[in-house]
Amino acid sequence: MSSSEYYSSESEFDEEWDEDLENVQFQQRWDEEAHDLMDTMREYDIGYSPTRGYADGFVQKNWDFPKVTLNDVLKPQRPGQPGLHITASRLGEFIEVAHAYAKHYRPNWISNKYICGIAAEMIRHHYGIQVL
């Protein structure tokens, strides 16, 4: 084996090592962000519904691709019935968690409309609202 072959294989090993190191660092950052998101959700009591339990993959798919708006979940569902009464601070908590969720899972999709859609889906799950 010539010395040039030895150095070329050594540099390939270094490149692979650097790529693996970058992947591990990315995964560590991802895990830290996921833990921060879960801590925020626990702090505000979002993600667990007393009537529906924890959000599963089907619920999270609705969060990723929201089909309802805040107006849909806050307005009365039937004529003559009051709409969902939620305080401004509680609504702000849902929006804050929705922003953290979007930042973690969909960083390229962050917009006010998208974040409000995620918040609406979270409210829908949390309070068990059936949107007509």
- Rounded to the nearest angstrom, the gap between the alpha carbon of residue 42 and the centroid of all alpha carbons in its chain is 13
Nearest to 97 by CA among 26, 42, 54: 42
3-state secondary structure of 66: coil
**Phi-psi region at 114: left, alpha or beta (left = phi > 0; alpha = psi -120 to 50):** alpha
Residue 114 included in any domain: yes
Confidence of residue 110 (pLDDT cuts 50, 70, 90): confident
Q: Is 55 a member of any domain?
A: yes
Classify residue 75: in a domain, yes or no: yes
Give Cβ neighbours of residue 11 (< 8 Å, ≥ 6 apart): none
pLDDT per residue as tens digits for the range 12-43: 778 888 888 999 999 999 999 999 999 999 99
Whether residue 77 is contained in a domain is answered as yes
pLDDT attached to residue 53: 86
Decide if 63 is inside a domain.
yes
pLDDT digit string, tens, across residues 66-77: 999 998 888 876
Would residue 132 count as lying in a domain?
no
Q: Is residue 50 part of a domain?
A: yes
Contact present, 120 and 69 (Cβ < 8 Å): yes
Assigned token pair, 95: 């929006």
- Is 44 within a domain? yes
Cβ(103)–Cβ(119) below 8 Å:
no
Q: Domain of 83?
A: 3-127
Number of compact structural domains in the chain: 1
